[in-house]
Structure 1
């Protein structure tokens, strides 16, 4: 899997749009990020609720992981070379569902 494939899948979901997040590329829905490039090579960042994040890290630490930078935040790193790409795609969809259930994000002031 590549960043381009991750973005293409995310953008195919209803309500998703290509935009930016802290100056970098992102796919958002309802104003909330779904996926952003990871700070670590070979991974992207999936924005997901804390409970799901904990389950993902516990059940598949070879795919879903974090560094100290991501501790305490609703996001998890995802390795592009996951042995279970279908689960990764399903988690992108879960991220979109979570974003759509949340209050719309307020626009940032310029």
Structure 2
């Protein structure tokens, strides 16, 4: 279930309620585990990672990577990790997008072409 669609609408009430009751009371930074709250937030993140792994039948050598702020951040991370900007500029490759692509999916590819 994709929950992060705040840019276009409110989440389902059951998600809001769960976050309000179970996540926000102990919400903290995941980059440290020196406090109970940080440990709990890290556990939530790892639990989410495991749920996603199960839902997509991920193998042991597959990775679930949280990318931050939506599709644009995910595509930018992919472009950087695979050095696609350099590859596209050297070889003049083409990315095909369909008529139903979200604008946030198209922008990173257009930026590569513009450079």
Higher relative contact order (Cα pairs below 8 Å, separated by 6+ residues): 1
Bigger share in helix: 2
TM-score by length of 1: 0.26
Structure of higher CA gyration radius: 2
TM-score by length of 2: 0.25
